[in-house]
A and B are shown apart, each in its own frame.
Chain A
């Protein structure tokens, strides 16, 4: 089963996504981390997420670009966090896919979905602040928006987390 979890900054989407993955009883539980720790703040974020995952039996795999080349054990329960970082990495890193980002990310996700037993993907609501950005940032919004639409299409469930409260967008209402 594929579950997409979205939400704004500080909405509790990561905690919710972790809760979903630990409900599955697979042998292997893989966490795919996509944020490259480039400064103090991002290292602090990584640390915070590590603390949240502690004791939950996750094997952490780092993947900043080229998700489609990532090998995971067949049938594993996989939590991928998050699309906003992966998309930015593909667009802006030297080894990234550049203007082929949408294709690269979507291919990576479908490869992952095929191999994983269950897949939970965290993405990000970054589309509603009403600010008109520079063309480069607008392009980022466009790419992430397209990727999110693809994710929702192949997903069984889409949930928006609002201040820790799951709001069902697609799939089973709880």
Chain B
């Protein structure tokens, strides 16, 4: 498993495609379903996938376990959303914290974690 993380619009997906050129297709987390995660090379907008799951009441906290079992070589591209003022809205708070907790578990499983800023990646693990 590999992760590419960073703020919005930093070129994370392009960086991931460029770093693992033969990886294959990246799904859009804003659109794809749980079953699709089983055989994709990578997923981008993973934060959007978590957000949709939370809205639909799906067990998103089990995603690390699910991915480890079903697609252990997946490349996860995810926006960092936890570095702002804690929102007043309870759902927004839950969303940010859930992205953090899920990604912390995934990062522990990953052999590489890259953090992208201005399109430039720094390997923070691996």
Contact = CB atoms under 8 A, between A and B. Distances in A.
Contact of B124 (A12, A133, A162): A162
Contacts of A165: 107, 113, 124-125
A9 B86 contact: yes
Interface string B96-121: 11111101111110000101000000
B98 A162 contact: no
B24 interface: no
Do most interface residues of chain A lie in helix, strand or loop, or is the interface mixed? loop
Given A162-B5, A163-B100, A8 B106 contact: no
Contacts of B108: 164
Given A41-B90, A162-B115, A9 B96 contact: yes
B84 interface: yes
A10 B86 contact: no
Contacts of A140: 85
Contact of B82 (A9, A137, A167): A9
- A interface bracket (residues with beta carbon within 8 Å of B): 20 to 34
- With most chain B CB atoms within 10 A of its CB, the pick from A7, A12, A163, A164 is A163
A138 to B, nearest CB: 10
B83 interface: yes
A130 B10 CA distance: 14
Interface stretch (A19-27, A108-116, A120-128): A120-128
A140 B98 CA distance: 25
Given A126-B85, A128-B83, A165-B125, A10 B104 contact: yes
Contacts of A129: 83-85
Interface of A: 7-12, 41, 84, 125-131, 133, 137, 140-141, 162-165, 167
